[in-house]
C-alpha cells in the first residue's frame, strides 16, 4: 500500500484509534493465552475449547497484521511510554483507592463496627505500605 498523507487532525484521531485497537488486541490475546490468571477477586471463567482458543488467537493475529498495514499505509504515529511511567501511574491509582478506604473516608457509607475498626485499619495500612514500597522500588 502506498503511504497516504492524512490531514493532521485525522492523523491524530486515527493514531488514537489504532492504538486503542492494538491495546484491545493485546488484552484479548493475553487473556485467551493465559493459563492460570493470578487473580483473587477478578476471575475469568474459561469458556473456550483449546480449538476455539487457537482460532481466536489466529483471528487476532490477522487483525493485528491488517492493523500493521493500516498504520504503515497512513503513517500513523505510535505513542511511547516507559515502564516506570506505567507503574507510577498504577501506584498513584492504588494509593488513591486505598486512601479512600481509610476509616474516616468510609464514614460516608455508615459507621464501621468497632470490632473490625482496628483489623481494617491495619489491613489498609499494610496495603498502603506495600504500594509505597512498590512505588519506591520502581522510581
- Each residue's pLDDT tens digit in the chain (139 positions)? 678 999 999 999 999 999 999 999 999 999 898 876 677 888 888 899 999 999 999 999 999 999 999 999 999 988 899 999 999 999 999 999 999 999 999 988 999 999 999 999 999 999 999 999 999 998 8
Residue 18 belongs to what domain range? 8-73
Residue 78 lies in a domain: no
* pLDDT tens track for 31-49: 898 876 677 888 888 899 9
Phi first, then psi: give them for residue 129, nearest 5 degrees: -60, -40
Judge if 62 and 94 occupy the same domain. Answer: no
Residue 38 lies in a domain: yes
**Rounded Cα gap, residues 11 and 59, in angstroms:** 26
Judge if 51 and 87 occupy the same domain. Answer: no
pLDDT at 22: 97
Look up residue 74 and give its DSSP letter: T
Judge if 68 and 13 occupy the same domain. Answer: yes
How many other β-carbons are positioned within 10 Å of the β-carbon of residue 70?
15
pTM of the model: 0.76
User: What is the tally of structural domains in the chain?
Assistant: 2
Which residues are CB-contacts of 127 (< 8 A; sequence separation ≥ 6)?
A: 98
Amino acid at each position: 500500500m502506498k503511504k497516504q498523507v492524512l490531514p493532521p487532525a485525522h492523523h491524530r484521531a486515527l493514531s488514537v484509534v489504532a492504538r486503542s485497537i492494538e491495546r484491545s488486541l493485546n488484552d484479548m490475546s493475553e487473556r485467551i493465552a493465559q493459563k492460570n490468571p493470578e487473580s483473587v477477586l477478578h476471575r475469568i471463567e474459561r469458556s473456550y475449547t483449546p480449538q476455539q482458543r487457537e482460532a481466536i488467537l489466529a483471528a487476532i493475529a490477522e487483525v493485528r497484521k491488517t492493523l500493521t498495514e493500516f498504520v504503515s499505509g497512513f503513517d500513523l504515529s505510535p505513542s511511547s511510554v516507559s515502564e516506570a511511567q506505567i507503574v507510577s501511574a498504577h501506584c498513584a491509582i492504588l494509593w488513591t483507592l486505598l486512601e479512600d478506604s481509610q476509616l474516616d473516608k468510609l464514614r460516608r457509607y455508615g459507621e464501621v463496627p468497632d470490632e473490625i475498626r482496628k483489623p481494617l485499619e491495619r489491613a489498609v495500612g499494610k496495603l498502603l505500605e506495600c504500594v509505597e514500597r512498590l512505588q519506591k522500588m520502581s522510581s
